[in-house]
Amino acid sequence: MQQIQKNFCFDGEQRTYQWHSDQLQNDAKFSIYLPEQALLGEACPAVFYLAGLTCTEETFAIKAHAQRFAAQLGLILVMPDTSPRGESVAQGDSWDLGLGAGFYINATQAPWAEHYRMESYIVDELYNAVQSHFPIQHGRIGIMGHSMGGHGALTLAWKYPEKFKSVSAFAPICAPSQCPWGEKAFTHYLGEARDTWLAHDAVALVYSKGALFSEVLVDQGFADQFYHQLNPQLLQKACAEVGQKLTLRQHQHYDHGYYFIQSFIDDHLQFHAAELTQ
């Protein structure tokens, strides 16, 4: 694991690492924010942040302005890339398929299956590696994400509740099997059998697995230009029917971008800090 960038930030360090991923069969990068407590060797809770379409491991670190409050809370932030990278990796023919659009699943179809194993990369390989290399409190790891990453956060939390103690999302793709983004990605990555898609659909997972968390926090803007792709009402309905507490906050005027995330990131960090210390 090679450290390729380090910046001092709110008495902590914002770092970027590059390493070889066995799951992705290529080199991969991730960013991590270590608050002062972690630099001094104190074990801290951690939150994985999964970014959305076209983003990289740098996007949240640069645009969300999360480090200040993470430093106050003593939270480690782990920020992986959104897909495998490299000349040997299938690229797709549009911005919402291929590079930058891994959808946090393990692809089963050619040419994607060789490298596009973002689910196993996140929950097995990277999850274990950061705990080995950094002072993360055992059993005190949460997950959050935005858009495609919100889909990833919700689905991975429901599939691996033993690994993630808290979950939140900004403008998540709640039911990818019922929207154009998800239908396109799942057809290419998983094939035409739509019943296999449900294992990667947050709404379907809530119905099949039931209530798993004490609370889930989701923020959504009404001015979101992609609102028709996101279906927060379907997630709200599913959670209500299975008894899962969901705090869905919908806001006038806010769109899909990082100014929206900046506006509410402190609430999400506070939410995770509280959940992870219970």
72's CB contacts (< 8 A; 6+ apart) are none
Q: DSSP label at 272? A: H
Distances (CA, A) of 53 to 103, 247, 263: 8, 24, 20
Dihedral sign (CA 225, 230, 232, 234): positive
- CA-nearest of 167, 174, 266, 271 to 224 is 174
- Catalytic pick among 188, 200, 256, 272: 256
- Catalytic pick among 151, 219, 224, 272: 224
Dihedral sign (CA 272, 274, 275, 278): positive
- Known active-site residue 228: no
Q: DSSP label at 28? A: E
Torsion of CA 219, 223, 224, 230, to 10 degrees: 70
What DSSP string describes 34-61?
Answer: E-HHHHTT--EEEEEEE--TT--TTHHH
Dihedral sign (CA 185, 187, 191, 193): positive
- Catalytic pick among 31, 83, 147, 177: 147
- Known active-site residue 147: yes
Q: Which amino acid is located at 261 in the chain?
A: I
- Known active-site residue 124: no
68: phi then psi, degrees, rounded to nearest 5? -60, -50
Helix residue ranges, H only, 44-167: 59-63, 67-73, 118-120, 127-133, 148-159
Crossing angle of helices 148-159 and 202-209, rounded to 10°: 20
Question: Catalytic site residues?
Answer: 147, 224, 256
